[in-house]
Structure 1
């Protein structure tokens, strides 16, 4: 069964006894590495091989402040850790190719052998960042989540988690007798499908000769900037804003027509994307839209065309109208889910210390 994980702090670390040999006996690192931020925690496995793992220390870093992931993790070890650490699990976006994690949106390449050598680790495990978010969710509604649309109830069934951030990630959690399994996806790389004439104009700006345009080019933080710039170009205007936050603030204040329309297209396109995935996976357990950026956009999402586009039409509407959609902050969920996955995999014997796990990674 999976390990539930709870947050907290302690003043001392008790060296556990009577633990399955494959589970790290001492605290281990869990890192959730995105294109903009990295969240790192020192985790303590449960003493008896069951119960809840604990967060002993936690910190959020700006990736651009460091030359690489080794330096970032070392900074955490230097400031927050007072015990030997030999094991690490990393939830990250990208693709594992040989020894390297490659991702167009990453602040820097990640070399796994370098991490092991520099940090003196025995074991590095890697999983998808949205796979980790999936393992942090279960059928209990997140207390920090805000319902965007759909019924205020939750039923058993697949749960979908989607996150527009530096890229666009998605995963689905399937529940089973063992506590659930998470499937990773490359859904953000699906072809963008315009739904309105204005969206077709934006698509024409992005690909004037035709060709492939991924949803990620539209539905992400950089995607919002892309849409805004395309709208300005189509009207012969010079862009005023240079960050997604500035565009969303202008849209909230309704002080800039292009910013308002860019956010409307972003929200509507997210609705289409989420509805299509919900149909694909029959996500009757609900949809979580994760990330601080979306959380800050909640009021704009509420009055946007998100729900109408999510519901699609005809027979799909009857199904999707029963699917609750929540918006939740990313917070510690990535590191908690990564730790839960890591302990579960080690305890089940699917992997052992010293193995390098390279799951199919998205974004």
Structure 2
């Protein structure tokens, strides 16, 4: 994604989210806060205003390759947005484990120093996992943002429900969302994408064998990500007797599969969808997320036609004695490209 800038308004109080925001309704000055998200390939920043209806403003995205460190990117953004670090709240969503003073990012060369951020911003930063941040935004989604995958109708998150959030991009992320009956939100971070890949058939076994030769330990992320789809394509090419030294980019594989112009791309995308279904079904069983699955991230939006061909839901629900229970669980794609920033704002508000 190239560097970009835009403005957006997002209501993050989950049960006021369906009410329209009217300009001028917040006439009193409110504290401006800063949120950011690092997903591996890109970093995004925004400023927030408001309390019950939080406005996300001055949204800017940059490739992480454009700056040597996160601090450089942060300083560039605050200067360009006219934001003065004066002790205002700050939440950073990271694609990795959000613990310790020095946070490393598996799919990015940057690291984050929590004490360094505290000194620069003059506030105690809130650091959370990027999919945990997205989970915080899910309760504010309405049906217009949900695209059904499979036959079970799409349903927004509601009080009393437990949900799973999963997405693929530079890596594979997930989080668990519980909305209590009184509306309280509980989000549990996870690094489930690094769990060991579990083959379900001979095709999966052959894929695992090839991936072991490349990586040793094979996590689901080695398959279910943009690099993972490229791994699948190159291994299928080798198995078919026409190895490729440089497989097409994941977006090209997806486009070729959707247009039926490359049989190998179609096979790779179908295998990806089936393995994703297996992973998500396992996660629902593990986490008790019986009320729904929200798939996020642009990559899965690109793959919606493929995810709706049947392989995803078939592997999702093929779990022996638990198959019938899984057949009733809705799976949807959430269309919201500011969800991580909005969720970071919601988490900061609830701190």
TM-score where L is the length of structure 2: 0.85
Comparing 268-277 with 233-242, greater Cα deviation is found at: 233-242
CA distance in 2, matches of 1:72, 1:264: 38
Residue 198 of structure 2 corresponds to residue 173 of structure 1: no
**1:52 corresponding residue in structure 2:** 53
Work out which structure has the larger RCO, using CA pairs closer than 8 Å and 6 or more positions apart in sequence: 1
Does the Cα contact within 8 Å between 1:142 and 1:328 map onto a contact in 2? Answer: no
CA contact (8 A) 1:39 1:332 kept: no
Alignment partner, residue 20 of structure 1: none
Structure 1 stretches of 5 or more lacking a match? 17-24, 346-363
Matched, 1:104 2:106: yes
SS of aligned partner of 2:117: helix
Find the counterpart in structure 1 of residue 318 from structure 2: 312
* Cα distance in 2 between the residues matched to 1:209 and 1:146: 36
Kindly tell me the number of residue pairs found equivalent between the two proteins.
331
Q: What's the offset of the Cα at 1:285?
A: 1.8
Counterpart CA distance in 2 for 1:261 and 1:269 is: 12
Give, in whole Å, the separation in 2 of the partners of 1:244 and 1:153.
27
Structure 1 pair 147/36, CA: closer, same or farther in 2 (3 Å)? same
Q: Matched residue of 2:232: which SS?
A: helix
Where in structure 2 are the equivalents of 1:142-161 lying within 5 Å?
A: 142-152=143-153, 154=155, 156-161=160-165
Alignment of 1:172-211 (within 5 A): 172-176=176-180, 177=182, 179-208=184-213
Alignment equivalent of 2:115, drawn from 105, 113, 116: 113
**2:3 corresponds to:** none
Q: Could you say which residue in structure 2 is the equivalent of 1:265?
A: 271
Q: State the Cα deviation string for residues 307-326 of structure 1 (Å, max 9, x = none).
A: 10011144312111111110
2:347 to 317, 320, 341: 341
* Other structure's SS at 1:207 match: helix
Counterpart among 229, 232, 238 of residue 237 in structure 2 = 232
- Contact between 1:129 and 1:334, CA under 8 Å: does it hold in 2? yes
How far apart, CA to CA, are the structure 2 residues paired with 1:257 and 1:213? 26
Gaps of 5+ in 2: 1-11
CA contact (8 A) 1:8 1:55 kept: no
Deviation at 1:329, TM superposition (A): 3.2
Paired residue secondary structure (2:290): coil
Deviation per residue, 1:201-236 (Å, 9 max, x gap): 111111149963111111111111111111122233
Cα pair 1:34 1:92 within 8 Å, conserved: yes
Please, what TM-score do these two structures have when normalized by structure 1?
0.82
Q: Compute the RMSD of aligned alpha carbons.
A: 2.8
Alignment pair present for 1:326 and 2:332? yes
Q: What is the CA-CA distance between 1:35 and the residue it aligns to?
A: 0.7
